[in-house]
Each structure stands twice: as structure tokens, then as C-alpha cells.
Amino acid sequence: MSSILTTARRAAIVFGLLGSTVLTGTGAHAGDIIGKVIGADGKPLSGVSVTLDDAMRAETTDSQGHFRFDRVPEGSVTINLNAMFRATQHLTVDVPLAGEVEIAAQMKPNTLLARAAALNTEPAVEHAAQKQTYLAGIKKTAQAGKAPNIVIMFFDDLGYGDLSAYGNRLISTPNIDAMATRGAKLTQSYSSSPVCTPSRAALMTGRLPVRSHAQHHVFFPTGHPVATMRRSLGWANALPRDEITMAEALGKAGYTTGAFGKWHLGDVVGSRPTDLGFNTYYGVLYSNDMAPLALYRGTNAETPPDQVVQGKLNERFADEAIKFISASKDKPFFAYVPFTAPHWPHHANPDRAGKSAGGEYGDVIEDLDAQVGRIVATLDKEGLSENTIIIITSDNGGDYDGAVSDLRGRKGETWEGGQRVPQFVAWPGVARPGSVIDGMTMNIDMFPTLLAAAGVALPTDRVIDGKDIRPLLSGQAQSPHDALFYLTTWSGNVSAVRNKDFKYREVIEDNSPLGVVRGGAGHPTPPALYDLALDNESHNTIARHPMIAEQLKKALDTMRDQLSINPRGWTAEAKKSAK
């Protein structure tokens, strides 16, 4: 095309599957680029990243697939089109001296991702034999009336400041708060990851998420493009079958086991709740923002996605848990109730919508409080409370709609707001009623603590990172942990460590393959030492306490080395028996 154009001239050029028409007009030595992007189905594509790299310009297509760049210098310009799970396009257009150049582009499916995924499979099952030997050796020690029943109520993204017992002044949670009277309120309790799947894997196994290939963000439904992306990177998308869950161990000890709510540890054979120790399951396999979201009973999809009423989900989970408790009251039982809320998107129960001073989010939390009240009332009614351990906590820190009190950071971050969570433990004879426990704990502690309560020895073929916290709950000791470690969201790297009073944090890259960056290079400049007893991670005190920083850095480096050398945590005994 000539570099000199008149208002009367028209020209046409072709891009990809569709065309581009150049419209000219009068003006300075710059033109406008306008365009529309559609998908393979011919429908407009919103959210497509459109960039002019050399001009340092970027736009995103709107709901109709449109974008526009005004006053682009005339001449040849390369336009890049990027959309998740679609093949990237690079188009070259001649911008007129004045006027507009109009582009229509169609994006094709990304076949490279699928081909990369085909090169990988799920990580190998390494120690199935050792697992079966351990489970076969567990004796049925649980007897009715003697072995304590266990109820774990696990919230999704509940922040440290979301409950009135932890200082929320808009949201009322009397039923949950009552657990502080029945038992202990913990102030230094942590999830083992700032996101869902890794934390749930750690809860079930007593091991840091890297041990079970669960450290990389969260699992997705089989067939979902993100599941394909995970496979292309060699990441797992299901809990390995050689991991031992607390449900499997408790079941072998004589417990009846049931799970009611969100699983999020895989949907393939071998990784579903009924494959990993639960006699009964009712719930959804993933977060409530994932599709398809069907309600499962056992391994069968009982309610299809288009019939699931999200506002009623947590009530349904409580219904099923109550039925299970009543039916199992004559023998020891383990009820795991992982609610889907308050994870985004928020859906208030129609029965409670508009009632909370905390808005829709408050409606969701107060509905959760009501469901907790119903479950606890059932335990009381059935005469089970005096022999039941009740644990209430969250899988990670609060998301952006929730509250994290005065902590720094949110879900997805290794600041305190991303991993410190509310927790109550009502345990007659162990946790002192009305006590406040300041010693640090992590959800990896539930596995060894609850197995010890049931009289079950821990497996010796693998590292169990959790500790038995019964002495701490009874007020007889400090935390059994000298240190707790914080794992990044995407890389699963250990980026921080804390002891009783201080936290040492190094900012390391945690780049998402989806383009999201969490905790990458930026303020504050690493390394940093925070006095958790006096500060909310605002002030770096490393110059004042260099020896403490050095001690914590050494602990951080040691853990990194151990995970690098032996990520699955197999012990010498396991290696010997495998020969």
C-alpha cells in the first residue's frame, strides 16, 4: 500500500480466516486501528488481550469482541492476539496516514497445549504396597462409647476476621462462636497453603502439599482446559493413590466415615472420596466456580449442573451430615463436612438473603453459622457431644470479599492473611472450655492428632509433617512446632518460615502459567523479618534482629533442601522395603 493516501482511496487486505478493510481519511500522520475478534464458533470473544508491543499499547476485547487503538503512527504494525486456550495470532497491518484500518480476526483452538499434555501422565504411584501393608496392620480399636467421634467442619476461603468471635462487627456467628465456650479458640492456626487443593491434601494426609504432588495451585475437572494445561506442565490433577488419608486409617480402626461437601482432590478413579476411605459421600468434586458442577452421591452424579441451586448447597451438605450422624450414633464415626462457602461466587441461601448487616457476603457466612448450629444441635440431641471432637476451621485465608482482621495479604499469598485461619476445637476432656490457644498449629496436625486419639499408630514409611497437638490443646505445653513453613500458590516453593515470634520471608517468583503473578519480584525487597507479636508484616526488622533472621533462613534453606532431595518424603524404611 502506498504511504500517501487520499480520502477517495480504498484498499483491502486479508488476515487469517477473515478480512481487514482499510478506510482512509484526512488528518495527521496517524491512524486508528479498530477490530473485532470471534472464536471458532463465530461468536464474539471477550477478554482477548490485544497488544501493540513496540508501541507499548494494550487493550482487551469487550463483550462484543471489539477493541480499538487511537492515533497509531502510520506504517506497518504488528498486532498480537492472546486468549486463554486459543492459538496466539500475530497480524501485520499497514496503518494509514490518516483514517482507520478495520480488522476482523478469528481465533483458532490451541492444539499445542493438548499435544504437550499428551506427552505426560499423572505422576507414578510409588508406594502403593507400603500403604496397603500399613492399612492392613491397623487394628479395629474403635469401640462405641470409647473412641471419640470426629466432626470436621471445613470452610472454603473463610478469612481470619470473618467471624464475630474474631472481631467482625457486621457478621453475626453465634453458633460458631459458641465453640469457643465449649472448647478452645486458636489464634495462631494455619492452613498449609494459601489456596484450596494443597490445603485439603495436607489436611487429609498430615503432609505438606509437595509430598502429594498437590503444591501447584488447584485441581480442575478432567477435560477442562486448565486440567490440560496442568498435564502439559507435568503437574498432577488428582491426589496420588499411594497417599494415606485419615479417612482410610480411621476406617480401618473401625470408624464409619462420611464426607459431605466439596472434595477438590480429583475426579478420576482412585482419587475420589469413596476411593480414599469414605464409606459415604455427598457433594461436589470442585469449587463452586468450576463447571460442570454436579452433585454426587458416591460416584454417581445425582443432581446435574443445571439443577444445582448454589444458595442451598451448604444446607444440603448439613442435611446429609445430620442424617449420617443420626444413623451412625451407635458406633464411632468420622464426619467430614467441607462446605463450599464462602468461596466466590457468593450465593446466599434464599431463606436468609438480605438479612445480614454484612451484605450478601454476610448472608453467606450467617447461613454457614446456621448450618453449623444444626449439626451441633444434632450431636446434642443424640447425646453424642460429650464423646465427639468438633473441629471448625478454613482451608486458607480470606478472599477479597472477606475479612482478614488486621493481617496483611489475602488468599493466594504467603502473607499472614493468606494462611492464618480461624479455628475452634471442642474436645471434651482435652481442650479446656473457654480457653484461648496462642501456640502455632497447622492443618497438617489434624492427621497425627486424630489418629492418636483413635489409638492408631502413624505410618513409618513416610514423613508425617504434622504434630500431635493434644498437649497444646490441654494447656500443658507450647506448640510442638519449632517452625511452620509457607508455600507459594503456583510454584509450591517454600517462601517463608516462622517461629514463635518472628517470620522470615523471601519474595520469590511464583508466576502462574495463566499469566497471573503472585508474590513475584516487588516490594518489599527480600529478605525481610517480621515481628508477628507486635506487627502485621509492615516493618522489616532484619537489621535489628540479624541472628534471628539467620536462624530462620537456615531453617528455610534446610527445608528447601529436604524437599528437593526427597519431595515425597519417603523414609529409609520405605526405601528398604521397596527393594
Q: What is the 3-state secondary structure (H, E, C) of 47-98?
A: CCEEEEHHHCEEEECCCCCEEEEEEEECEEEEEEEECCCECCEEEEEEECCC
**Spatial distance between the Cα atoms of 202 and 193, rounded to a whole number of angstroms:** 9
| Whole-Å CA distances, 336 to 148, 241, 273, 339 | 14, 19, 11, 9
Of 141, 205, 245, the residue nearest 456 (C-alpha): 141
Which helix H or strand E contains 425, and what residues bound it? Answer: strand 420-426
**Spatial distance between the Cα atoms of 13 and 9, rounded to a whole number of angstroms:** 14
**Spatial distance between the Cα atoms of 383 and 149, rounded to a whole number of angstroms:** 12
Look at residue 204 and give its three-state secondary structure. Answer: helix
Of 519, 518, 515, the residue nearest 505 (C-alpha): 519
State how beta strands 280-284 and 256-262 pair.
parallel
Cα angle for residues 45, 518, 535 (degrees, 5° grid): 140
Of 394, 386, 353, the residue nearest 370 (C-alpha): 353
42: left (phi over 0), alpha (psi -120 to 50) or beta: left
**Spatial distance between the Cα atoms of 227 and 498, rounded to a whole number of angstroms:** 33
Distance of CA 304 to the CA centre of its chain: 24
**Spatial distance between the Cα atoms of 202 and 395, rounded to a whole number of angstroms:** 10
Cis peptide before 524 (omega within 30 of 0): yes
Measure the CA dihedral 127/130/136/141, to 10°: -100
Beta bridge partners of 235: none
Q: Which residues are catalytic?
A: 196, 264
Radius of gyration of the chain measured on its C-alpha atoms: 27
Contacts of 512 (CB under 8 A, 6+ apart): 217, 489, 490, 518
**Spatial distance between the Cα atoms of 312 and 292, rounded to a whole number of angstroms:** 17
